[in-house]
Amino acid sequence: MNHFEFKDGELHAEDIAVAQIADEIGTPFYCYSTATLNRHYDVFCEAFSDIDAMVCYAMKANSNQAVLKTLADRGAGADVVSGGELLRALRVGIDPKKIMFSGVGKTISEIDMAIASQIFCFNIESENELALISARAVDAGMNAHVSFRINPDVDARTHAKISTGKKSDKFGIAYDRAEAIYRHAAGLPGIRISGIDMHIGSQIIDLEPFDQAFDRLASLVGRLRNAGHEISHVDLGGGLGVPYKNGDATPPEPHAYAEVVKRHVRGLGAKIVFEPGRMLVANAGIMVARVLYVKRAEGKTFVIVDAAMNDLIRPTLYEAWHEIQPVREPVAGGETMVADIVGPICESGDYLGKDRTMARVAEGDLVFVSSAGAYGAVQSSTYNTRPLIAETLVKGGEYAVIRERQTLDELIGLDHMPDWLEG
Ligand SMILES: Cc1ncc(COP(=O)(O)O)c(C=O)c1O
Ligand SMILES: N[C@@H](CCCC[NH3+])C(=O)O
Protein backbone atom coordinates (compact mmCIF):
# COMPACT_ATOMS: atom_id res chain seq x y z
CA MET A 1 0.00 0.00 0.00
CA ASN A 2 1.33 3.44 -0.79
CA HIS A 3 0.02 6.97 -0.91
CA PHE A 4 1.25 8.03 -4.35
CA GLU A 5 -1.82 8.19 -6.57
CA PHE A 6 -3.16 10.00 -9.59
CA LYS A 7 -5.92 12.46 -8.68
CA ASP A 8 -7.46 14.86 -11.20
CA GLY A 9 -4.93 13.68 -13.78
CA GLU A 10 -1.87 14.52 -11.65
CA LEU A 11 0.31 12.41 -9.40
CA HIS A 12 -0.25 13.24 -5.76
CA ALA A 13 1.84 12.36 -2.75
CA GLU A 14 -0.90 12.03 -0.14
CA ASP A 15 -2.83 15.29 -0.71
CA ILE A 16 -0.25 17.34 -2.49
CA ALA A 17 0.46 17.50 -6.23
CA VAL A 18 4.00 16.33 -6.91
CA ALA A 19 4.26 18.92 -9.72
CA GLN A 20 3.73 21.66 -7.13
CA ILE A 21 6.73 20.45 -5.12
CA ALA A 22 8.78 20.28 -8.34
CA ASP A 23 7.81 23.83 -9.27
CA GLU A 24 8.72 25.12 -5.82
CA ILE A 25 12.01 23.33 -5.16
CA GLY A 26 13.20 22.22 -8.60
CA THR A 27 14.18 18.74 -9.74
CA PRO A 28 15.37 16.08 -9.17
CA PHE A 29 14.25 15.19 -5.65
CA TYR A 30 13.11 12.32 -3.49
CA CYS A 31 9.63 12.47 -1.97
CA TYR A 32 8.49 10.28 0.92
CA SER A 33 5.03 9.75 2.38
CA THR A 34 4.49 9.81 6.14
CA ALA A 35 1.22 7.88 5.83
CA THR A 36 2.93 5.05 3.94
CA LEU A 37 5.80 4.87 6.42
CA ASN A 38 3.34 4.67 9.31
CA ARG A 39 1.16 2.15 7.54
CA HIS A 40 4.05 -0.18 6.68
CA TYR A 41 5.38 0.00 10.20
CA ASP A 42 1.95 -0.74 11.66
CA VAL A 43 1.29 -3.68 9.32
CA PHE A 44 4.61 -5.23 10.24
CA CYS A 45 4.02 -4.77 13.98
CA GLU A 46 0.46 -6.05 13.81
CA ALA A 47 1.71 -9.32 12.35
CA PHE A 48 3.71 -9.84 15.54
CA SER A 49 1.35 -8.31 18.09
CA ASP A 50 0.82 -11.69 19.78
CA ILE A 51 4.50 -12.30 20.54
CA ASP A 52 7.19 -10.36 22.42
CA ALA A 53 8.72 -8.57 19.43
CA MET A 54 11.04 -5.61 18.96
CA VAL A 55 11.37 -3.89 15.57
CA CYS A 56 14.77 -2.32 14.95
CA TYR A 57 14.49 -0.43 11.66
CA ALA A 58 17.52 -1.19 9.46
CA MET A 59 18.21 2.48 8.88
CA LYS A 60 20.77 1.84 6.15
CA ALA A 61 17.72 1.64 3.85
CA ASN A 62 16.91 5.31 4.41
CA SER A 63 18.69 7.13 7.19
CA ASN A 64 17.27 10.62 6.72
CA GLN A 65 16.65 12.07 10.19
CA ALA A 66 13.01 12.93 9.47
CA VAL A 67 12.26 9.45 8.09
CA LEU A 68 14.00 7.92 11.09
CA LYS A 69 12.07 10.13 13.51
CA THR A 70 8.77 9.26 11.82
CA LEU A 71 9.41 5.56 12.44
CA ALA A 72 10.93 6.14 15.89
CA ASP A 73 7.84 8.12 16.96
CA ARG A 74 5.81 5.07 15.94
CA GLY A 75 7.93 2.95 18.28
CA ALA A 76 10.76 1.66 16.10
CA GLY A 77 14.22 0.96 17.45
CA ALA A 78 17.21 0.93 15.10
CA ASP A 79 19.63 -1.53 13.57
CA VAL A 80 22.79 0.51 12.97
CA VAL A 81 25.92 -0.44 11.05
CA SER A 82 28.25 2.49 11.72
CA GLY A 83 29.05 5.14 14.28
CA GLY A 84 27.32 7.60 11.97
CA GLU A 85 24.09 5.63 12.02
CA LEU A 86 24.36 5.23 15.79
CA LEU A 87 24.68 9.00 16.16
CA ARG A 88 21.72 9.56 13.85
CA ALA A 89 19.59 7.15 15.93
CA LEU A 90 20.61 8.76 19.23
CA ARG A 91 19.98 12.25 17.85
CA VAL A 92 16.36 11.48 16.98
CA GLY A 93 15.92 10.18 20.51
CA ILE A 94 15.81 6.43 19.95
CA ASP A 95 16.28 4.68 23.28
CA PRO A 96 19.71 2.99 23.28
CA LYS A 97 17.92 -0.06 24.69
CA LYS A 98 16.30 -0.41 21.26
CA ILE A 99 19.53 -0.17 19.25
CA MET A 100 21.37 -3.14 17.74
CA PHE A 101 24.82 -2.69 16.21
CA SER A 102 25.43 -4.97 13.19
CA GLY A 103 28.23 -5.20 10.63
CA VAL A 104 31.47 -7.06 10.00
CA GLY A 105 33.86 -4.13 10.38
CA LYS A 106 33.16 -2.18 13.55
CA THR A 107 36.05 0.14 14.38
CA ILE A 108 37.46 0.84 17.86
CA SER A 109 35.86 4.27 18.02
CA GLU A 110 32.49 2.88 16.91
CA ILE A 111 32.71 0.13 19.53
CA ASP A 112 33.62 2.66 22.24
CA MET A 113 30.73 4.88 21.27
CA ALA A 114 28.25 1.99 21.37
CA ILE A 115 29.58 0.74 24.73
CA ALA A 116 29.31 4.24 26.21
CA SER A 117 25.77 4.57 24.85
CA GLN A 118 24.79 1.26 26.50
CA ILE A 119 23.02 -0.05 23.42
CA PHE A 120 20.80 -3.13 23.55
CA CYS A 121 23.30 -5.41 21.85
CA PHE A 122 26.25 -5.85 19.51
CA ASN A 123 25.72 -8.41 16.77
CA ILE A 124 29.22 -9.87 16.66
CA GLU A 125 30.50 -11.32 13.39
CA SER A 126 33.97 -12.73 14.22
CA GLU A 127 36.27 -13.98 17.00
CA ASN A 128 38.55 -10.95 16.52
CA GLU A 129 35.66 -8.55 16.95
CA LEU A 130 34.64 -10.40 20.12
CA ALA A 131 38.15 -10.00 21.54
CA LEU A 132 38.17 -6.29 20.77
CA ILE A 133 34.74 -5.64 22.26
CA SER A 134 35.75 -7.53 25.40
CA ALA A 135 38.93 -5.47 25.76
CA ARG A 136 37.18 -2.15 25.14
CA ALA A 137 34.36 -2.97 27.58
CA VAL A 138 36.89 -3.88 30.28
CA ASP A 139 38.75 -0.60 29.66
CA ALA A 140 35.48 1.29 30.00
CA GLY A 141 34.57 -0.63 33.16
CA MET A 142 31.36 -1.81 31.52
CA ASN A 143 29.72 -4.97 30.24
CA ALA A 144 28.83 -5.15 26.54
CA HIS A 145 25.69 -7.09 25.74
CA VAL A 146 26.35 -9.29 22.74
CA SER A 147 24.79 -11.76 20.40
CA PHE A 148 26.49 -13.61 17.56
CA ARG A 149 25.38 -13.35 13.98
CA ILE A 150 25.21 -16.92 12.75
CA ASN A 151 25.61 -17.71 9.08
CA PRO A 152 23.10 -20.51 8.49
CA ASP A 153 24.44 -21.32 5.01
CA VAL A 154 21.10 -20.86 3.31
CA ASP A 155 20.58 -19.52 -0.20
CA ALA A 156 18.20 -16.56 0.03
CA ARG A 157 17.54 -16.80 -3.73
CA THR A 158 17.96 -13.10 -4.24
CA HIS A 159 20.43 -10.98 -6.23
CA ALA A 160 23.99 -12.23 -5.61
CA LYS A 161 25.14 -8.81 -4.37
CA ILE A 162 22.56 -8.70 -1.58
CA SER A 163 22.61 -12.33 -0.45
CA THR A 164 24.33 -12.63 2.94
CA GLY A 165 23.52 -16.03 4.44
CA LYS A 166 25.69 -18.46 2.51
CA LYS A 167 28.97 -19.65 3.94
CA SER A 168 30.82 -18.09 1.00
CA ASP A 169 29.51 -14.66 2.11
CA LYS A 170 31.61 -12.51 4.45
CA PHE A 171 28.87 -12.35 7.07
CA GLY A 172 28.43 -14.06 10.40
CA ILE A 173 29.98 -16.95 12.28
CA ALA A 174 29.94 -20.31 10.50
CA TYR A 175 27.03 -22.38 11.79
CA ASP A 176 29.33 -25.22 12.86
CA ARG A 177 31.54 -22.88 14.88
CA ALA A 178 28.69 -21.28 16.80
CA GLU A 179 28.81 -23.43 19.92
CA ALA A 180 32.58 -23.01 20.25
CA ILE A 181 32.41 -19.22 20.04
CA TYR A 182 29.61 -19.00 22.62
CA ARG A 183 31.72 -21.22 24.94
CA HIS A 184 34.72 -18.96 24.42
CA ALA A 185 32.68 -15.75 24.89
CA ALA A 186 31.19 -17.00 28.15
CA GLY A 187 34.66 -16.92 29.72
CA LEU A 188 35.59 -13.42 28.53
CA PRO A 189 35.49 -10.36 30.78
CA GLY A 190 33.28 -7.44 29.78
CA ILE A 191 31.02 -9.68 27.70
CA ARG A 192 27.43 -10.47 28.59
CA ILE A 193 25.83 -12.91 26.14
CA SER A 194 22.18 -12.10 25.59
CA GLY A 195 21.07 -13.51 22.27
CA ILE A 196 21.61 -14.79 18.77
CA ASP A 197 21.24 -13.17 15.35
CA MET A 198 20.97 -13.92 11.65
CA HIS A 199 20.25 -12.03 8.42
CA ILE A 200 20.33 -13.97 5.17
CA GLY A 201 19.86 -11.24 2.60
CA SER A 202 17.59 -8.62 1.16
CA GLN A 203 14.66 -8.45 -1.29
CA ILE A 204 13.73 -12.05 -0.45
CA ILE A 205 10.51 -13.00 -2.20
CA ASP A 206 10.29 -16.61 -1.21
CA LEU A 207 9.48 -17.87 2.31
CA GLU A 208 11.42 -21.10 1.92
CA PRO A 209 14.91 -19.67 2.70
CA PHE A 210 13.52 -17.97 5.83
CA ASP A 211 11.91 -21.25 6.84
CA GLN A 212 15.20 -23.15 6.50
CA ALA A 213 17.26 -20.50 8.26
CA PHE A 214 14.84 -20.04 11.19
CA ASP A 215 14.71 -23.81 11.63
CA ARG A 216 18.50 -24.03 11.86
CA LEU A 217 18.65 -21.08 14.25
CA ALA A 218 15.94 -22.39 16.56
CA SER A 219 17.66 -25.77 16.94
CA LEU A 220 20.93 -23.99 17.69
CA VAL A 221 19.19 -21.93 20.40
CA GLY A 222 18.17 -25.20 22.08
CA ARG A 223 21.73 -26.51 22.03
CA LEU A 224 23.19 -23.23 23.31
CA ARG A 225 20.73 -23.12 26.18
CA ASN A 226 21.52 -26.73 27.06
CA ALA A 227 25.15 -25.66 27.25
CA GLY A 228 24.13 -23.01 29.80
CA HIS A 229 24.11 -19.85 27.66
CA GLU A 230 21.49 -17.19 28.17
CA ILE A 231 19.62 -16.58 24.93
CA SER A 232 16.99 -14.08 25.91
CA HIS A 233 16.53 -12.60 22.46
CA VAL A 234 16.55 -14.04 18.95
CA ASP A 235 17.21 -11.55 16.13
CA LEU A 236 15.89 -12.77 12.79
CA GLY A 237 17.26 -9.85 10.73
CA GLY A 238 15.36 -8.26 7.87
CA GLY A 239 15.14 -9.12 4.21
CA LEU A 240 11.45 -9.29 3.39
CA GLY A 241 11.07 -8.25 -0.25
CA VAL A 242 8.72 -5.66 -1.73
CA PRO A 243 6.88 -5.46 -5.06
CA TYR A 244 8.78 -3.38 -7.63
CA LYS A 245 7.20 -4.52 -10.87
CA ASN A 246 3.63 -5.40 -11.74
CA GLY A 247 3.45 -8.99 -12.88
CA ASP A 248 6.50 -10.19 -10.94
CA ALA A 249 6.12 -12.81 -8.23
CA THR A 250 4.45 -11.05 -5.30
CA PRO A 251 6.57 -10.98 -2.16
CA PRO A 252 5.01 -12.52 0.93
CA GLU A 253 2.73 -10.33 3.04
CA PRO A 254 4.05 -9.65 6.55
CA HIS A 255 1.44 -11.95 8.09
CA ALA A 256 2.60 -14.90 5.91
CA TYR A 257 6.20 -14.19 6.93
CA ALA A 258 5.01 -13.94 10.55
CA GLU A 259 3.46 -17.41 10.36
CA VAL A 260 6.82 -18.89 9.38
CA VAL A 261 8.57 -16.94 12.11
CA LYS A 262 6.15 -18.02 14.80
CA ARG A 263 6.25 -21.66 13.77
CA HIS A 264 9.94 -21.71 14.66
CA VAL A 265 10.32 -19.30 17.54
CA ARG A 266 7.04 -19.06 19.41
CA GLY A 267 8.03 -21.79 21.82
CA LEU A 268 11.45 -20.35 22.62
CA GLY A 269 10.23 -17.88 25.24
CA ALA A 270 12.64 -15.26 23.89
CA LYS A 271 12.17 -11.66 22.72
CA ILE A 272 12.11 -11.77 18.91
CA VAL A 273 13.98 -8.93 17.22
CA PHE A 274 13.46 -7.89 13.59
CA GLU A 275 15.59 -5.63 11.42
CA PRO A 276 13.32 -4.69 8.50
CA GLY A 277 14.57 -1.98 6.17
CA ARG A 278 13.26 -2.10 2.64
CA MET A 279 9.73 -3.26 3.44
CA LEU A 280 9.15 -0.19 5.62
CA VAL A 281 10.46 2.46 3.27
CA ALA A 282 10.82 1.31 -0.37
CA ASN A 283 7.27 2.01 -1.46
CA ALA A 284 7.04 5.05 0.78
CA GLY A 285 9.25 6.98 -1.64
CA ILE A 286 9.55 8.15 -5.24
CA MET A 287 12.19 10.07 -7.12
CA VAL A 288 10.99 12.91 -9.34
CA ALA A 289 12.94 14.13 -12.38
CA ARG A 290 12.39 16.38 -15.37
CA VAL A 291 12.93 15.41 -18.99
CA LEU A 292 15.84 17.38 -20.44
CA TYR A 293 15.85 15.96 -23.96
CA VAL A 294 14.18 13.28 -26.01
CA LYS A 295 16.88 11.94 -28.28
CA ARG A 296 16.05 9.75 -31.23
CA ALA A 297 18.97 7.61 -32.25
CA GLU A 298 19.09 4.80 -34.76
CA GLY A 299 16.44 2.29 -33.74
CA LYS A 300 16.31 3.70 -30.24
CA THR A 301 14.81 6.56 -28.28
CA PHE A 302 16.47 7.97 -25.18
CA VAL A 303 14.57 10.03 -22.65
CA ILE A 304 17.33 12.01 -20.96
CA VAL A 305 16.26 13.20 -17.52
CA ASP A 306 17.98 15.35 -14.91
CA ALA A 307 18.38 12.45 -12.42
CA ALA A 308 21.06 9.83 -12.97
CA MET A 309 22.78 6.72 -11.65
CA ASN A 310 24.50 8.82 -8.98
CA ASP A 311 21.06 9.66 -7.56
CA LEU A 312 19.59 6.14 -7.85
CA ILE A 313 22.13 3.42 -8.52
CA ARG A 314 19.87 0.39 -8.07
CA PRO A 315 18.98 -0.11 -11.75
CA THR A 316 22.57 -0.32 -12.92
CA LEU A 317 24.05 -1.96 -9.79
CA TYR A 318 21.50 -4.74 -9.32
CA GLU A 319 19.65 -4.68 -12.66
CA ALA A 320 16.75 -3.53 -10.51
CA TRP A 321 13.42 -2.56 -12.05
CA HIS A 322 11.75 0.66 -10.92
CA GLU A 323 8.50 1.72 -12.56
CA ILE A 324 8.88 5.06 -14.39
CA GLN A 325 5.90 7.14 -15.43
CA PRO A 326 4.97 10.72 -16.25
CA VAL A 327 3.68 12.77 -13.34
CA ARG A 328 0.71 13.82 -15.51
CA GLU A 329 -1.61 10.82 -15.71
CA PRO A 330 -1.46 9.18 -19.12
CA VAL A 331 -4.81 9.28 -20.94
CA ALA A 332 -6.33 5.93 -21.87
CA GLY A 333 -5.48 5.06 -25.47
CA GLY A 334 -2.94 7.92 -25.62
CA GLU A 335 0.30 7.75 -27.54
CA THR A 336 3.08 5.57 -26.12
CA MET A 337 6.78 5.27 -26.77
CA VAL A 338 9.51 2.71 -26.14
CA ALA A 339 12.57 4.34 -24.63
CA ASP A 340 15.56 4.05 -22.38
CA ILE A 341 15.27 6.52 -19.52
CA VAL A 342 18.80 7.72 -18.89
CA GLY A 343 20.68 10.43 -17.01
CA PRO A 344 23.40 12.91 -17.98
CA ILE A 345 26.33 10.84 -16.63
CA CYS A 346 29.12 9.81 -18.98
CA GLU A 347 28.62 6.05 -18.70
CA SER A 348 26.42 3.71 -20.70
CA GLY A 349 25.47 2.16 -17.36
CA ASP A 350 23.74 5.39 -16.45
CA TYR A 351 20.12 4.42 -16.85
CA LEU A 352 17.00 4.32 -14.70
CA GLY A 353 15.07 2.02 -17.03
CA LYS A 354 15.65 0.32 -20.35
CA ASP A 355 13.30 -0.43 -23.22
CA ARG A 356 10.33 0.91 -21.34
CA THR A 357 6.97 1.24 -22.97
CA MET A 358 5.53 4.39 -21.49
CA ALA A 359 3.17 7.23 -22.27
CA ARG A 360 4.88 9.63 -24.66
CA VAL A 361 6.82 12.34 -22.83
CA ALA A 362 8.36 15.54 -24.13
CA GLU A 363 11.08 17.91 -22.97
CA GLY A 364 10.13 19.67 -19.77
CA ASP A 365 7.74 16.94 -18.59
CA LEU A 366 8.05 15.54 -15.10
CA VAL A 367 8.50 11.81 -14.56
CA PHE A 368 8.67 9.80 -11.37
CA VAL A 369 10.51 6.65 -10.42
CA SER A 370 8.54 4.40 -8.05
CA SER A 371 9.65 2.37 -5.04
CA ALA A 372 12.65 4.60 -4.48
CA GLY A 373 12.37 5.07 -0.72
CA ALA A 374 14.84 2.30 0.16
CA TYR A 375 18.49 2.24 -0.84
CA GLY A 376 17.93 5.31 -3.02
CA ALA A 377 19.17 8.57 -1.50
CA VAL A 378 21.45 6.67 0.90
CA GLN A 379 23.39 5.13 -1.97
CA SER A 380 23.76 8.34 -3.96
CA SER A 381 27.10 9.90 -4.83
CA THR A 382 28.41 13.08 -6.35
CA TYR A 383 29.91 11.39 -9.41
CA ASN A 384 30.40 13.86 -12.29
CA THR A 385 30.30 16.62 -9.62
CA ARG A 386 26.56 16.34 -9.38
CA PRO A 387 25.31 17.64 -6.02
CA LEU A 388 23.26 15.34 -3.77
CA ILE A 389 19.60 15.97 -4.51
CA ALA A 390 16.89 17.19 -2.13
CA GLU A 391 14.67 14.92 -0.07
CA THR A 392 11.12 15.86 0.90
CA LEU A 393 8.56 14.41 3.27
CA VAL A 394 4.82 14.77 2.79
CA LYS A 395 2.17 14.62 5.50
CA GLY A 396 -1.41 15.15 4.35
CA GLY A 397 -1.48 18.33 2.30
CA GLU A 398 1.90 19.60 3.51
CA TYR A 399 5.47 18.89 2.55
CA ALA A 400 8.82 19.72 4.06
CA VAL A 401 12.30 19.68 2.58
CA ILE A 402 14.04 17.24 4.90
CA ARG A 403 17.39 17.53 3.18
CA GLU A 404 18.34 20.50 1.03
CA ARG A 405 19.94 19.94 -2.33
CA GLN A 406 23.68 20.19 -1.81
CA THR A 407 25.15 23.36 -3.31
CA LEU A 408 28.07 23.19 -5.70
CA ASP A 409 30.10 25.28 -3.25
CA GLU A 410 29.50 22.71 -0.48
CA LEU A 411 30.45 19.88 -2.79
CA ILE A 412 33.62 21.43 -4.20
CA GLY A 413 34.50 22.86 -0.80
CA LEU A 414 35.16 19.37 0.56
CA ASP A 415 38.48 19.32 -1.33
CA HIS A 416 41.63 20.77 0.24
CA MET A 417 44.62 22.18 -1.55
CA PRO A 418 47.99 20.88 -0.31
CA ASP A 419 50.61 23.55 0.54
CA TRP A 420 52.66 22.77 -2.53
CA LEU A 421 49.77 23.73 -4.81
CA GLU A 422 48.82 26.94 -3.02
CA GLY A 423 49.38 30.31 -4.61
C1 LIG B 1 22.31 -6.89 9.14
C2 LIG B 1 21.18 -6.39 8.31
N3 LIG B 1 19.98 -6.26 8.88
C4 LIG B 1 18.91 -5.81 8.19
C5 LIG B 1 19.03 -5.47 6.86
C6 LIG B 1 17.80 -4.96 6.18
O7 LIG B 1 17.43 -5.71 5.09
P8 LIG B 1 16.11 -5.33 4.30
O9 LIG B 1 16.23 -3.92 3.89
O10 LIG B 1 16.13 -6.25 3.15
O11 LIG B 1 14.97 -5.58 5.22
C12 LIG B 1 20.24 -5.62 6.21
C13 LIG B 1 20.37 -5.39 4.75
O14 LIG B 1 20.28 -6.36 4.00
C15 LIG B 1 21.36 -6.07 6.95
O16 LIG B 1 22.55 -6.17 6.39
N1 LIG C 1 21.49 -1.85 -1.40
C2 LIG C 1 20.70 -3.03 -1.69
C3 LIG C 1 20.26 -3.72 -0.45
C4 LIG C 1 21.38 -4.03 0.48
C5 LIG C 1 20.91 -4.54 1.76
C6 LIG C 1 21.93 -4.27 2.85
N7 LIG C 1 22.45 -5.45 3.48
C8 LIG C 1 19.57 -2.71 -2.61
O9 LIG C 1 19.44 -1.59 -3.02
O10 LIG C 1 18.80 -3.57 -2.96
Looking at the fold, whether 248 and 127 belong to one and the same domain comes out as yes
265 and 287 assigned to the same domain:
no
Q: Can you tell me the distance from the alpha carbon of 285 to that of 191, in angstroms, rounded to the nearest whole number? A: 40
The answer on 26 and 101 residing in a single domain is no
Q: Does residue 89 share a domain with residue 15?
A: no
Q: Are residues 247 and 303 in the same domain?
A: no
| Strand extents, DSSP E, 38-120 | 53-58, 77-80, 99-101
Evaluate whether residue 358 is within a structural domain. yes
**Contacts within 8 Å (CB) and 24+ apart, 296-304:** 300/339, 300/340, 301/337, 301/338, 301/339, 301/340, 302/339, 302/340, 302/341, 302/342, 303/337, 303/339, 303/340, 303/341, 303/342, 303/361, 303/367, 304/342, 304/343, 304/344
Q: Is 182 helix (H, G, I), strand (E, B) or coil?
A: helix
Q: Which of 84, 135, 86, 147 is nearest to 108 (CA)?
A: 135
Enumerate residues 6+ apart whose C-beta is below 8 A from 3. Answer: 13, 14, 33, 35, 36, 39, 394
Straight-line distance from the first to the last Cα atom of the chain, in angstroms, rounded to the nearest whole number: 58
CA 254 to chain centre: 17
pLDDT in tens, the chain (423 residues): 679 999 999 999 999 999 999 999 999 999 999 999 999 999 999 999 999 999 999 999 999 999 999 999 999 999 999 999 999 999 999 999 999 999 999 999 999 999 999 999 999 999 999 999 999 999 999 999 999 999 999 989 899 899 888 998 899 999 999 999 999 999 999 999 999 999 999 999 999 999 999 999 999 999 999 999 999 999 999 999 999 998 888 899 999 999 999 999 999 999 999 999 999 999 999 999 999 999 999 999 999 999 999 999 999 999 999 999 999 999 999 999 999 999 999 999 999 999 999 999 999 999 999 999 999 999 999 999 999 999 999 999 999 999 999 999 999 999 999 999 986
Residue 300 and residue 240 share a domain: no
Helix, strand or coil, per DSSP, at residue 226: helix
Strands 77-80, 99-101: pairing is: parallel
Task: Indicate which atom in ligand 2 lies nearest the CA of residue 379.
Answer: 1
Neighbours of 267 (CB within 10 A): 10
Neighbours of 421 (CB within 10 A): 7
Same domain as 50, residue 27: no
Complex ipTM more than 0.95, yes or no: yes
Find out whether 196 and 272 touch, Cβ atoms under 8 Å: no
Same domain? 253 vs 301: no
Question: What pTM did the predictor assign?
Answer: 0.97
Whether residues 345 and 324 share a domain: the answer is yes
Is 89:113 a contact under the CB 8 Å cutoff?
Answer: no
User: Which residue segment(s) compose the domain that 318 sits in?
Assistant: 4-31+282-412
45 noted as active-site residue: no
**Number of domains present in the structure of the chain:** 2
277 annotated as belonging to a binding site for a ligand: yes
Note whether residue 316 is domain-resident: yes
* 3-state secondary structure (DSSP) of residue 189: coil
Annotation-wise, does 318 bind a ligand? yes
State in Å: Cα 101 to ligand 1 middle. Answer: 12
Protein residue whose Cα sits closest to atom 1 of ligand 2: 375
Q: Are residues 60 and 159 in the same domain?
A: yes
Of the candidates 248, 263, 280, which is a domain's last residue?
280
Tell me the CATH number at 24: 2.40.37.10
Q: Which residues line the pocket of ligand 2, CB cutoff 6 A?
A: 60, 162, 202-203, 314, 318, 375, 379
Q: Answer whether residue 139 is part of any domain.
A: yes
For the domain that residue 97 is a member of, what is the CATH number? Answer: 3.20.20.10
DSSP code of 331?
P
